[in-house]
Amino acid sequence: MTNPNDAQPLQFRLEVTGTAGSVSRVTFDVDRAAALVFPVELQAGEGLVVDGTRTARIYDAQGRQRGTVEAAGTIPRLSPGAHRIAFDCAFAGDAPPGVAVTFRT
């Protein structure tokens, strides 16, 4: 990911795609220095929005907020320039879903 702006906290939207299954233990590793873990299980169609704070919003398949979750770890600040962001999670279900992540600056 490249941040073309001034330094700012990490912000993203994660969407669980597909029609069945779930993901849990959502983890991001930024520049091999800042591990960020969200202890949540998301079903197909649900989403997670991080706006630069440790409190992430969880959305259901209809786009309604259904709750929040606190991240384990510190939200990293992204300086201007390129950053390496690794993603991991646990997949469950007979037909595991996909995951799409959109970073924002």
For tokens 């912000």, name the residue: 11
The model's pTM is 0.92
Q: If you write DSSP's letter for every residue of 40-52 in order, what string do you get?
A: EEEETT-EEEE-S
pLDDT of 93 reads 92
pLDDT of 11 reads 97
Burial class (CB in 10 A: 0-12, 13-18, 19+), 46: buried
Q: Rounded to whole angstroms, what are the CA distances from 46 to 3, 58, 69, 86?
A: 26, 7, 14, 21
Output the CA angle 97-98-99, nearest 5 degrees.
Answer: 125
- The rounded average pLDDT for each run of 10 residues, N- to C-terminus, in the chain (105 residues) is 96 96 96 92 97 96 97 94 96 94 95
